Amino acid sequence: MIDIKGKTALITGGSKGIGYGIAEIMLKSGMKVAITSRSQQAALEAAEKLGSLGSGEVLAIEADVRNADSQNKAVAEVLQKWDKLDVVIANAGLGHFGSIEELTPQQWQETIDTNLTGVFNTVKAAIDPLKSSKGYIITISSLAGTNFFAGGSAYNASKFGLTGFTQAIMLDLRKYGIRVSTIMPGSVSTYFNNHEPGEQDAWKIQIEDIGEMVVDLLRLSPRTLPSKIEVRPTTPPGN
């Protein structure tokens, strides 16, 4: 089992939701974690809350995954702060839902730019330092990356693409000792799509559950790679 204490991570979209849950468990495990958000204020507020957890360090970065230069700067900030990058969690994402008749070109573009091109930008920015550290890339896809549904054309397209992208770069990068996995959650209790989490979401996957899964992956022997992980609630309503 790998000792992850002191390892460094960059989490896109880490100020809330799944990204925040991953950061929380990483910090409790003694890691150094940089979280990004398009809002510097949101990143700082999340970092302040996270800073009281565990023995790790946290860094707040304003960055937009849709912009390649912004991702390059985010990676540079991590390297300036800690002189290495061991883990990248490509988590930032959004969803626009509705029939293709209603979906606007702007909604389509924002979904693809964030959920798919944004991950490309993040990975491209991080490849060189991850070669040096023989690091780990984990993308957060979705069960919507293999299961299509009405009203999900943009979201399905972005997550189907993300799942395929991740599997392809896994083959590209493993020769450098870089491990690549994608986690594909079902229903998670988050603020996604303007949802307000509450007691009614107790049956869902919780954000800390995804965090525990990520830390388990990081601790696993480098000789073994779970490249694609589907995860779903054990007992959804009606079952």
- What are the pLDDT digits (tens) for 74-117? 999 999 999 999 999 999 999 999 999 999 999 999 999 999 99
Asked if residues 137 and 130 have their Cβ atoms less than 8 Å apart, the reply is yes
Looking at residues 217-230, what average pLDDT do you find?
A: 96
Helices (H), the chain: 17-28, 40-50, 68-82, 105-112, 118-133, 153-173, 207-219
H or E stretch at 111? helix 105-112
Model confidence band, residue 195 (pLDDT cutoffs 50, 70, 90): low
For the record, the structure tokens of 190 come out as: 């988050």
Catalytic residue among 20, 155, 176, 191: 155
Q: Is the pLDDT of residue 229 over 80?
A: yes
Q: What is this structure's pTM?
A: 0.94
Q: Is 176 a catalytic residue?
A: no
β-sheet with 136-140: strand ranges across: 57-62, 32-37, 8-11, 87-90, 136-140, 179-185, 228-231
User: What is the rounded distance in angstroms from the CA atom of residue 57 to the CA atom of residue 30?
Assistant: 8
Q: What is the pLDDT of residue 138?
A: 98
Q: Which CATH number fits domain 8-231: 3.40.190.10, 3.50.50.60, 3.40.50.720, 3.60.10.10?
A: 3.40.50.720
